[in-house]
A and B are shown apart, each in its own frame.
Chain A
Amino acid sequence: MTEHVVIVGGGTGGTVLANDLADRLGPELEAGDVRVTLVNDDPDHVYKPVWLYVPFGQREPEDGRRPLSELVDDAVDLRVDRVTALDTDAQRLQYRDGSPESYDYLVLATGSTLAPDRIPGLAEGGHDYYSESGATALREELLSFTEGHLVLSVIGTPHMCPAAPLEFVFMADDWFRERGLREDVEITYTYPIQRVHGNPHIAEWARPLMDDRDIAVETFFNAETVDPEARTVSSMEGTDLEYDLLVGIPPHAGVDLVAEAGLGDDGWVDVDKHTLEAEGAEHVYALGDTAATGVPNAGSVAHYQAGVVGQRLASELRGRPATATYDGKTLCFIETGMDAASFVEFDYENPPSPAPPSQKLHWSKLAYNESYWLTARGLL
């Protein structure tokens, strides 16, 4: 009998996993003992880190898009469709047209969605670089912005790439300096808790850099409303900030499918943070942003988790105990300007220790961005 693995979501986690299984289970796939289906509601794979560079005119959104059909091994059944319902007791899901699909193992890699509507006025008054359209619209604003108050507000966590808000203000500071405009542009960074980043080690590293570069900081700032007419953003803590250009990191959510299936609140799947198995159902895994592990929502996390889930699934399909576990490994390059970057590596046990910013690390980050497509194809 053919065992069927269904992966929902063709982002980094889902795509790397599909290719990992194609490689790992080659003989079983060829013999028809195992079938792997990857479902994504867009024919393209999107590499979101490219969006950080779009507002500064350095990259185009198309640089972050490639057809999944070019990235995914032919041994994987690729289905461009949306999963609209999930019954984990019956091990069955339903596609948009109502047709059912049975699975023996399910992997949820549905990622993050943006929820700007949770903050009144944000969609109208703010910009973001967490979507293709947002990054393009912000580019138009930023290229014509020569003076005034730029406010970057981190509105809620978790959000994709926790380092990206720091990167944006560091890059903006440098970008305006290079163009001789920095004295005419005030930059303020806001964060919801009492430091500038969720991880205290990264916060301690970043704060002096921000102070040195005259990036103003407002902590304990949870944006509650935006007034697009008055150009003010107001926090739950009672602080009002006037802005000329607001860059908001919008609230994030998962997908309704997860919450409706009883697998976790707000679309994030409650999992064992080592095995990545869902706590609310048998034979279900989650990875990347979808898995509530407490580690950053980052591509490197999804990449490493995909390797763990691939090993575990291969073991289970071969009737062996699954032993691979995820240790929280996370790697991040952090841009600290237009030609310098830092680097951090950490896991559940070992905290990050950011490397001194250098041009070499900046070029390493750009080189990785270019070679990312090898990662998606399971080669790197």
Chain B
Amino acid sequence: MTELTDAVDAEPDETVDARGAACPGPLMDLIGRIRGVDSGTVVALLSDNDQSLTDVPEWIEEAGNELLGVEQREDHYAFYVEKA
């Protein structure tokens, strides 16, 4: 399970709002967005699916991108990802 952070010191360049989507929807939405952005772009993924806490970090590591942090917000999580 991924460790949650209070706040991430980064301003996302793009945000993917996948709240309400069932697994693996949030991860696939993130992959789709990462596919189209330049290296160094920070993408924030919003998901309220607990499964994302394992799926998303695993893929980020596999793909060699960087997980800057995961914010626990009121009713969802925000994953901050920097494309390698």
Interface residues in chain A, defined as those with a beta carbon under 8 Å from any beta carbon in chain B = 118, 156-158, 192-194, 198, 200, 220, 222, 224, 236-238, 292, 294
User: Smallest CB–CB gap between B1 and chain A, Å?
Assistant: 15
Q: Tell me which residues across on chain A come within 8 A of B28, comparing CB atoms.
A: 156-158, 192-193, 198
Consensus secondary structure, chain A interface: loop
Contact A237-B63, Cβ < 8 Å, known A192-B28, A198-B24, A294-B25: yes
B23 engages A198 (CB within 8 Å): yes
B35 engages A224 (CB within 8 Å): yes
B58 engages A236 (CB within 8 Å): no
Contact A237-B22, Cβ < 8 Å, known A194-B59, A222-B35: no
Q: How far is the CA of A236 from the CA of B34 in the complex (A)?
A: 9
Can you list 9 A-B contacts (CB < 8 A)? Answer: A157-B25, A158-B25, A193-B27, A193-B28, A194-B55, A220-B59, A222-B35, A222-B63, A294-B22
Nearest-neighbor residue (CB-CB) of A223 within chain B: B35
Q: How far is the CA of A294 from the CA of B47 in the complex (A)?
A: 14
Interface residues in chain B, defined as those with a beta carbon under 8 Å from any beta carbon in chain A = 20-25, 27-28, 31-32, 34-35, 55, 58-59, 62-64
Q: Tell me which residues across on chain A come within 8 A of B34, comparing CB atoms.
A: 236
A156 engages B22 (CB within 8 Å): no
Residue from the list A118, A200, A220, A224 in contact with B62, Cβ < 8 A: A220
User: Smallest CB–CB gap between A15 and chain B, Å?
Assistant: 27
Contact A156-B59, Cβ < 8 Å, known A193-B24, A198-B23: no
Q: Tell me which residues across on chain B come within 8 A of A224, comparing CB atoms.
A: 35
User: Smallest CB–CB gap between A67 and chain B, Å?
Assistant: 36
Q: Tell me which residues across on chain B come within 8 A of A194, comparing CB atoms.
A: 55, 58-59, 62
User: Smallest CB–CB gap between B34 and chain A, Å?
Assistant: 7
Nearest-neighbor residue (CB-CB) of A194 within chain B: B58
Q: Tell me which residues across on chain A come within 8 A of B62, comparing CB atoms.
A: 194, 220, 237
Nearest-neighbor residue (CB-CB) of A295 within chain B: B22
Q: Tell me which residues across on chain A come within 8 A of B24, comparing CB atoms.
A: 157, 192-193, 198
Nearest-neighbor residue (CB-CB) of A328 within chain B: B22
Q: How far is the CA of A118 from the CA of B21 in the complex (A)?
A: 23
B64 engages A294 (CB within 8 Å): no
Q: How far is the CA of A82 from the CA of B51 in the complex (A)?
A: 40
A237 engages B64 (CB within 8 Å): yes
Q: How far is the CA of A158 from the CA of B23 in the complex (A)?
A: 11
Q: How far is the CA of A237 from the CA of B24 in the complex (A)?
A: 17
Chain B CB count within 10 A is highest, among A194, A236, A237, A238, for: A236
A236 engages B31 (CB within 8 Å): yes
Q: Tell me which residues across on chain B come within 8 A of A157, comparing CB atoms.
A: 24-25, 28
User: Smallest CB–CB gap between A12 and chain B, Å?
Assistant: 22
Q: How far is the CA of A156 from the CA of B31 in the complex (A)?
A: 8
Q: A222-B63, A294-B21 are in contact. List 10 more A-B contacts (CB 8 A).
A: A118-B35, A156-B28, A158-B25, A192-B28, A193-B59, A194-B55, A194-B58, A222-B31, A294-B20, A294-B22
Q: Tell me which residues across on chain A come within 8 A of B22, comparing CB atoms.
A: 294
User: Smallest CB–CB gap between B52 and chain A, Å?
Assistant: 11
Nearest-neighbor residue (CB-CB) of B58 within chain A: A194
Q: Which 4 A-B pairs have the closest CB atoms?
A: A294-B22, A220-B62, A237-B63, A193-B24
Residue from the list B20, B31, B58 in contact with A192, Cβ < 8 A: B31
B55 engages A156 (CB within 8 Å): no
Q: How far is the CA of A246 from the CA of B64 in the complex (A)?
A: 25
Q: How far is the CA of A157 from the CA of B25 in the complex (A)?
A: 8
Q: Tell me which residues across on chain B come within 8 A of A222, comparing CB atoms.
A: 31, 35, 63
B32 engages A220 (CB within 8 Å): no
Nearest-neighbor residue (CB-CB) of A193 within chain B: B24
Contact A220-B23, Cβ < 8 Å, known A193-B55, A194-B55: no
Q: How far is the CA of A158 from the CA of B62 in the complex (A)?
A: 21
